Amino acid sequence: MPKLLILSKHAEKYRQLVDSARLPGLREITFDPAPDVDVVFGEPHLIRDALPLLPGLKWAQSTWAGVEPLLDPALRRDYILTNARGVFGGLMSEYVFGYLLLHERKMLQRLEAQRDRRWDATLTGRLNGKTIGLLGVGSIGAELARAAKFFGLTVRGFTRDSEGCEWVDRYFHGPELLDFARGLDYLVSVLPNTSETRKIIGAEVLAALPSSAIFINVGRGSALDEPALIQALDTGALAGAVLDVFEQEPLPASSPLWEAKNLIVTFHTSAPSFPEDIARLFCENYRRYAIGLLPNKIVSFIKGY
Amino acid sequence: MPKLLILSKHAEKYRQLVDSARLPGLREITFDPAPDVDVVFGEPHLIRDALPLLPGLKWAQSTWAGVEPLLDPALRRDYILTNARGVFGGLMSEYVFGYLLLHERKMLQRLEAQRDRRWDATLTGRLNGKTIGLLGVGSIGAELARAAKFFGLTVRGFTRDSEGCEWVDRYFHGPELLDFARGLDYLVSVLPNTSETRKIIGAEVLAALPSSAIFINVGRGSALDEPALIQALDTGALAGAVLDVFEQEPLPASSPLWEAKNLIVTFHTSAPSFPEDIARLFCENYRRYAIGLLPNKIVSFIKGY
C-alpha cells in the first residue's frame, strides 16, 4: 500500500488529478517528506532536497524531462528514477516550427509593414524543401523529425550511435559533427546536459553552418558556447538564433544575450509541463508499479537520460 | 505541334523552366498573343485581356488558384481552363499554423519581455487539443485539415455538400453554419469568391464563435463582412484575426483594417506562386495535353473553381 509524496509548485493540482484517477492501493497522499514514503512525484530539485528524509523511497517520478539535480554522483541512487520524456515532443514541435515559420514567413517584417500601412507583397521563404539537423534524436528529436518530414524537410540526425528513427534521412556520429552541420538551413539542439555535450555547439560548428542558417536550442544551455554564438550572430556568420535554455537560468539581466543581434530569447518555456499531461503519465506508471512491473521512462544514472 | 503563349510577370523565368523541361512537340514559345496560339500559361487577368487575340486557344493554364477574371459570364468559354490548385496547400498550412503558433505561443509578448530583459516563464497555449473549423474543404482545405490532425486538433469542415476529406472529423452544410462556428478555437476561411460565399462570414457567424477564438482568412476577401469583423474585434467578442485577403486589394491606406484591434494584416502572400512549383504543374499538364488527354485541375465555369 504505497504512500505518495507530491513535491511540486503544482502540488495541489497534481493531488486533485491523482485523486480523480482513483489509483489502486494508494494508501495516502502527502506534501510532507516522511520515512514511510514509498513513491515521490515532483520537480527534480525538490526531490533532491527531500532525498535524506525519504529512507523508504523506492520510486521517484520527475515532472520534467531533465533530471540533472538528481544525477549528482554524491547523491544516493538506490531507487528507480523515471522522467517525463515523451510528453514534450509535440510541444517542442510547436515551438521549433512556430519560430522557424516566424523567420521564414517574415512575420515581424510583415508587422512592420502593417504599422506603416504598406502593402508588402514581397516573396517570403518556406519550410518545404529545407534541411534541418537535429543534435540528439531521443523521443523529442524523433518528434521534431516527424514534424520536419510533415513539412517536407530533409532531416539529418546527430547521435552518439543510435539510428532508430524512421523520420531521419541521414545519421551522423562523433567525428562527423562538422559534416553534419555543413549545408544545414536549421540546426536544432535537443541535447541533454552531460559531460559529452558540454559546449559541443561552439565556434567550429557555428562556422560550418551556412551564413543563412538558423540555430535553435531547446535542449540544455550547457551544450552551447554562448560567446561563440554572439560572435557568429554579430559578424553575420549566422542569420539568427532562438534560445530557450541557457548556461544560467533565469538569464541574468546583465547577459549580452538579451540584446544580441538576430537572437530571440524565450524562458525555458518551449515545452511546459502541463499538469494534465504529467499526471496522466504518472498514473499510467503507477498502475505498472502497483502490480509489480517496472515503471516506464526509467533514467539511467550513468547516461544521465 | 502546339504554340505556347506565356503571360506572366515571371514570363522569362517560366520560359526558362518550360524550356528546360523539353516538352514533346512544343512548336514555339512566345510572349505575344497571336491567332495561332493553342495554349496560354499565365496570370488570369493577363489571359483575360488577351482572349480576343487568341481565336485558336484550346487550353489556358492559370498560374494562380483563383481565376475570377476569367469567370465573367460575358467572356468566352470555348476553351479548357485549368488552375494551379493543389500546389498551395502546403504553403497555406505553413501560413495558417505559423500564425496560430504566433498566437498560442505568445511570441509577440515574449519578444516584449526580451526587450524588457524580463524572464517571463508564464504558461503559453498550444495547438494540441484545440478545434479548428475550415470554411471550404477543397484541395487547400484538405491540406489544412491534414496539418491540423498532425498537430492534434479536432477538425470541422463546412462545405456545400462534399464530405470526401479523411482528415475532417465532422462535416456541416448550408443551414448548419452557426452550429459549425459554435465552440471553435480557430475559424479559417479558404472560400473562393462566388455568389454563394459573399459576406458569408458576417456578424452572425462571428457572434457564434467563442470570444477566445481566432479567425484567419486565406480564401477571398469577399467572403468576409469587414466592418462586422472590426466590430467583433473592437468589442472583444473575438480574440484576434489574421487577414491575408481583402474586399479591395491592395488594401487602401485609408482602411480601418490596418489598425483594427488584435488584427494582423498580410498582403495576399499566404501561398505565393513559386515559379518552380507552377511550371512543374504546367509541364505535367502539358504532357497529358500533348497525348490527347484532358489536363488536370480543370475549372468549372459554372461553379467557379
Q: Which residue has the cell 539542439?
A: A189
pLDDT in tens, chain A (305 residues): 899 999 999 999 999 999 999 999 999 999 999 999 999 999 999 999 999 999 999 999 999 988 999 999 999 999 999 999 888 899 999 999 999 999 999 999 999 999 999 999 998 999 999 999 999 999 899 999 999 999 999 999 999 999 999 999 999 999 999 999 999 999 999 999 888 999 999 999 999 999 999 999 999 999 999 999 999 999 999 999 999 999 999 999 999 999 999 999 999 999 988 899 999 999 999 999 999 999 999 999 988 88
Does residue B19 carry a pLDDT above 90?
A: yes
Q: Which residue of A has its CA nearest to B102?
A: A98
Does residue B304 carry a pLDDT above 90?
A: no
The H or E element that residue B29 is part of is: strand B28-30
| Per-residue confidence (pLDDT) for residue A177, from 0 to 100 | 98
Helices (H), B59-118: 89-104, 107-115
Domains and CATH numbers, chain B: 3-86+273-290 (3.40.50.720), 89-265 (3.40.50.720)
Name chain B contacts of A113, Cβ cutoff 8 Å: 267
d(CA B186, CA A266): 25
What's the whole-number average pLDDT of chain B?
96
Does residue B79 carry a pLDDT above 90?
A: yes
Task: Quick: pLDDT tens for B109-168.
Answer: 999 999 999 999 998 999 999 999 999 999 899 999 999 999 999 999 999 999 999 999
| CA distance, residue B76 to nearest chain A CA (Å) | 31
Instruction: Say yes or no for a CB contact (<8 Å) between A250 and B107.
Output: no
Q: Which long-range contacts (CB under 8 A, 24 or more apart) does A294-300 make?
A: A294/A80, A295/A59, A295/A61, A295/A80, A295/A82, A296/A82, A297/A82, A297/A83, A297/A84, A297/A85, A297/A86, A298/A80, A298/A81, A298/A82, A299/A62, A299/A67, A299/A70, A299/A81, A299/A82, A299/A83
Q: Which residue has the cell 488536370?
A: B296
- Which positions 76-135 of A are in contact with B (Cβ < 8 Å)? 90-91, 93-95, 97-99, 101-102, 104-105, 107, 110-111, 113-114, 117, 119-124, 126-128
Segment B66-83 shows an average pLDDT of 94
Instruction: Say yes or no for a CB contact (<8 Å) between B90 and A124.
Output: no
Does residue B106 carry a pLDDT above 90?
A: yes
Does residue B272 carry a pLDDT above 90?
A: no
Name chain A contacts of B117, Cβ cutoff 8 Å: 253, 258
A31 in contact with chain B, both atoms CB, cutoff 8 A: no
Give how far the C-alpha of residue A215 lies from the chain's centroid of Cα atoms, to the nearest Å: 15
